[in-house]
Chain A
Amino acid sequence: MIEPLSESQVIENLRQTEDPSAQYYAAWWLGKMRSRHPDAIPLLLTTLKALDDTPVDPDRRGVALNAIRSLGLLQDERADSDLRDLLTSSDYSVREEAARSLGTMGSHAAAATIRSLLASGVDGAGSEQPSTPLLREPCEALLEALGEIGISDTATLATLEPFTQHPRPLIRAAACRALLQLTGDARWGEQLIQLLEHPEPLVRRGALLDLGATGWTEALTTMSAAAVEPSLKLVALRGLAEKSGDPQVLDVMDALL
């Protein structure tokens, strides 16, 4: 039986640089456990420096990506500025994870840069990179971040709307999710509900989680009847319950246990 690591051991594992796999695990653990250790944020920020090296060491890049995710979960303002700098990284995954974390943190200061990354629209940021499945920008993460940050000004809405017509259903779902969060306008919810009937299970799952994240309780009955496994429905309905505080959601969850 392996003993679980203590928080102080994990901190030391992140501090050392000899063993990148111990650092990798430590960077993940601190976020997962919502660590409040005073050294956690400074050490996580230190790991991001590896992203400035040329070439970037692949092991240290992995540690940094975990650190970006954990910094989002830990919701500490000290990380805001460094994460915003990463939005303009040349590394797609770094931009993607930074956007997710800034969205989780609700960083108002990040909104303008995120909008600028999406400004070239469906045919620019949303176009496919040659010979990879990736789009030019991590659109799903960027769109969702704008919804989570919660600034519903004209510039943000104008950035989001074109992506509700994107050829990929998961990008459309991310745009609708953000617009529903920002405006509460039912037409975006209805477009998400249509995606719940998509033939691809992956799209149905994504749309379900997106509806949950919006707290739009009008979707409750449709969500509980969707052709998606109960475990995932419970995750999506958890989002709906926590965002809306509506006890009816709990009754529906009880029936799915």
Chain B
Amino acid sequence: MTSSALGDAIRDLDRASSTSELVQATRTLCALKDPEAAETLVKVLGFNNPAVAAVATQGLIQLGRDIVPTLLVSMDARNYGARAWVVKALAALRDPRGLDLLEHALMADIAPSVRRSATRGLADLELDPVIKDQQLHRCMQGLLKSGQDDEWVVRYAAVFGLEQRLRSPHVGSSIADQAVLMLRTLASEAEDARVVRLRAALALQRLHLE
């Protein structure tokens, strides 16, 4: 029954020719809540149509962590726009298996919105209990790198992430010192964007580090 509903939805999607038809077909596909739909939803991300991709991304996030392996494999696709949406979905799912990919997106991605999403993901990615300290260290390293990004919005996301992570008692003291130093720099006149200074000052205040 489900598989035929899935087949129908995929066929409707293939036949859709306008944005509104594509959005409708994608909504139907998402509503099935069928993990088997993940591969098709990932394909939809590559249509270079933001309205449709936003619906598909929400659908993927609702499918939960079972689809993380599908998302990770899909990053082999060369489609640049699709990659941005996959990073968003992975960041929202907070699955520790996404760490490599978020780190990579942070280093290599041209689009500020992708680096922003990746930074946001590092802020509260859940950590694998077996290698928790090591993964936490990698998240901190990534956030420190984002704090030096050329784009204000990535630095803003870094401040948000450093504030979250500095609440954890497991952060190593040396990297925690670097993080506090970074927040102090971003709160100072050395930072161009006033909104980043405001946010960094707020983070220091909330962490009682003023």
Contact = CB atoms under 8 A, between A and B. Distances in A.
B116 A257 contact: yes
B153 A234 contact: yes
Size band of the A side of the interface?
10 to 19
Contact of A245 (B116, B119, B120, B198): B198
A230 B194 CA distance: 20
Interface residues on B, range: 20 to 34
Interface in A225-242: 229-231, 234-235, 238, 241-242
Interface in A206-249: 229-231, 234-235, 238, 241-242, 245, 247
A247 B194 CA distance: 13
Interface string B126-163: 00000000000000000000000000110011001000
A236 to B, nearest CB: 11
B199 A250 contact: yes
Given A247-B202, A257-B157, A238 B113 contact: no
B50 A238 contact: no
Contacts of A22: none
Given A231-B153, A234-B153, A257 B198 contact: no
Interface string A25-66: 000000000100000000000000000000000000000000
Nearest to A246: B198
A203 interface: no
Interface of A: 34, 229-231, 234-235, 238, 241-242, 245, 247, 250, 253-254, 257
25 contacts: A230-B113, A231-B112, A231-B113, A231-B153, A234-B116, A234-B153, A234-B156, A238-B152, A238-B193, A242-B194, A242-B195, A242-B198, A245-B198, A247-B202, A250-B195, A250-B198, A250-B202, A253-B156, A253-B195, A253-B199, A254-B160, A257-B119, A257-B120, A257-B123, A257-B156
8 closest cross-chain pairs (CB), A and B: A257-B120, A238-B195, A242-B194, A231-B113, A241-B195, A257-B157, A250-B199, A242-B195
